[in-house]
Structure 1
Amino acid sequence: MARRAVARYSSTFSKRRYMLHQHIVLLCLKVRKNTTYRTLLNKLIEMPPIRSALDLEELPSPSTLCKAFNRLDMAVWRVLLNLSVTLLSTNGVVGIDASGFNRSHASNHYTKRTKLTLQQLNVTLFVDTRANAVLDLHVTTIRKHDSKIAPSLIKRNTSEVAILLGNKGYDDQEIRALAVKIVFIRSRHWSKQFRELVIGCLTHHLDRIL
């Protein structure tokens, strides 16, 4: 799936020691195992079948994998998420709901010193109820009412939705109008945390597929 979604190498200036899809799979493993770069790579030393499946004669360093994560844009992960959905049997009955995720690496001392108040990532999931598949998600670091986030998710996924389910927080006139017109019914930096959430949904799909 990763081979279909990305170029062979990150750029024309790449040293071509590792291919982009190899980095993607290793990053998915890191998020799925909820571990550090170094711990993951240490475990893979003892897992020759995985290295063989990825055609990895030698493992990258933790810093190389970290730099790959920094380079890979959110758009790449969204493409992979969408590809993984196509491998699942969906039925168009879609639920929408939001929840908060703690930023585990955010130090209370640091946030007070820098006068930051951000404690959570607010995540809205758009989920097909049959496949238990995350069709889309919206992540924000600011407090925003559910009804203000839903329209963008609906517009991006109109072809996937036959019936939309939501609690009373989504009982909004704009959403009703869209339903009639369109829908028949661990990282420290926030941008990296957004990507990790998308990767988490992607690896959840891979579990369902397997």
Structure 2
Amino acid sequence: MQTLPKLQLLRFVEQAMHVARRAVPRYSSKFSKRRYTLHQHIVLLCLKVRKNTTYRALLDELIEMPRLRDALGLTEIPIPSTLCKAFNRLKMAIWRVLLTLSITLLPTNGIVGIDASGFDRSHAWKHYTKRVKLTIQQLKVTLLVDTRVNTITDLHVTTIRTHDTQIAPALIRRNANAITVLLGDKGYDDQTVRTLARHQGVRPLIKHREFSSLQKAWNVRIDADLYGQRSQTESVNSRLKRTYGAFVRSRRWWKQFREIGVACLTHNLDQMF
């Protein structure tokens, strides 16, 4: 009998399982019931985001997917509350480790763009919110994107209106070894950001706000071809929203942060194919 080829979904599951095995132990603790592994939980949560579906719908589909069950090592299908509890247990630090490990499997060039975007904290109908004049606060998500293969190097999520120049330093310090050139728009034009980047061995390529003729001249001298790669960061922000949803479903802020982290990891895993 002819062997069926591996589709992209199956390769995604296998790659996610490989990353999960490198990042976390098999079980959460010695008191675990050992019915399902942490690796299986992580892959199923990524698969839920990739398919942009609910826990129940994902598990219903998994019943008809024997090859995926074999790749996951599942002998039985978990109930939706099992994945909900697993998501609550997996802290943001674990998703950051998984994100970092996913980058090591992809070819990067160190030319990194930084950009921020907003994600709705509710998926209320837009016409309704406009009619009743309801204001929904957004999550501000700042991404570091390597421009070679459009992978997400790191992220910063906040619920308040923090200025871009206050967010950039933390991202630069955390990822100084992975960045050679930092591309940013005028929102990151701050001498503190430039000084910190140079101190960390990073070349800042950030446009100046044009308040004088000298600053206009500095912008003209910027390497246009290199700086043009910054637009790829905006493309990744757009793809996250179009592919995985422009809003988060969780009601608690710490779970909302994790949702964005899972989406970024899923994006990197998708970029491997």
Bin of the TM-score, shorter chain as denominator length? over 0.9
CA distance in 2, matches of 1:69, 1:107: 26
CA distance in 1, matches of 2:263, 2:197: 29
Q: Does 1:155 align with 2:173?
A: yes
Q: Kindly indicate whether the alpha-carbon contact (under 8 Å) linking 1:103 and 1:120 is maintained by their aligned counterparts in 2.
A: yes
Deviation at 1:107, TM superposition (A): 9.3
Structure 2 match to 1:200 = 263
TM-score by length of 1: 0.92
Which deviations, in whole Å up to 9, do the C-alpha atoms of 1:69-115 show, x marking residues without a partner? Answer: 0000111111110000011111111100101011135799xxxxxxx
Which of 87, 107, 124 does residue 105 from structure 2 map onto?
87
Structure 1 match to 2:182 = 164
The unaligned stretches of length 5 or more in structure 2 are: 1-18, 127-133, 204-248
Q: Identical aligned pairs, as a percentage?
A: 70
Matches within 5 A, 1:1-210: 1-105=19-123, 119-185=137-203, 186-210=249-273
Q: Kindly indicate whether the alpha-carbon contact (under 8 Å) linking 2:103 and 2:268 is maintained by their aligned counterparts in 1.
A: yes
Q: Kindly indicate whether the alpha-carbon contact (under 8 Å) linking 2:165 and 2:193 is maintained by their aligned counterparts in 1.
A: yes
Larger Rg: 2
Cα RMSD for the two superposed structures: 1.8
Q: Kindly indicate whether the alpha-carbon contact (under 8 Å) linking 2:120 and 2:136 is maintained by their aligned counterparts in 1.
A: no
CA gap 1:141/1:118 in 2 versus in 1, 3 angstroms: farther
Deviation at 1:184, TM superposition (A): 2.3
Deviation at 1:117, TM superposition (A): 6.4
CA distance in 1, matches of 2:45, 2:114: 27
Q: Kindly indicate whether the alpha-carbon contact (under 8 Å) linking 2:115 and 2:142 is maintained by their aligned counterparts in 1.
A: yes
| One-letter identity of the residue aligned with 2:266 | T
CA distance in 1, matches of 2:26, 2:197: 41
Deviation at 1:44, TM superposition (A): 0.5
Deviation at 1:201, TM superposition (A): 1.1
Structure 2 match to 1:113 = none
**Is 173-182 or 62-71 further displaced after alignment?**
173-182
| One-letter identity of the residue aligned with 2:261 | V
Which deviations, in whole Å up to 9, do the C-alpha atoms of 1:14-36 show, x marking residues without a partner? Answer: 11100110011000011111111
| One-letter identity of the residue aligned with 1:76 | I
CA distance in 2, matches of 1:158, 1:118: 35
Q: Kindly indicate whether the alpha-carbon contact (under 8 Å) linking 1:106 and 1:119 is maintained by their aligned counterparts in 2.
A: no
CA distance in 1, matches of 2:44, 2:202: 39
The unaligned stretches of length 5 or more in structure 1 are: 109-115
CA distance in 2, matches of 1:88, 1:119: 35
CA distance in 1, matches of 2:111, 2:24: 30
Which deviations, in whole Å up to 9, do the C-alpha atoms of 1:17-63 show, x marking residues without a partner? Answer: 00110011000011111111111101101111100111101011100
CA distance in 2, matches of 1:132, 1:170: 20
Question: In structure 2, the residue corresponding to 1:76 is in which secondary structure?
Answer: helix
Question: In structure 1, the residue corresponding to 2:77 is in which secondary structure?
Answer: coil
| One-letter identity of the residue aligned with 1:93 | I
| One-letter identity of the residue aligned with 2:49 | V
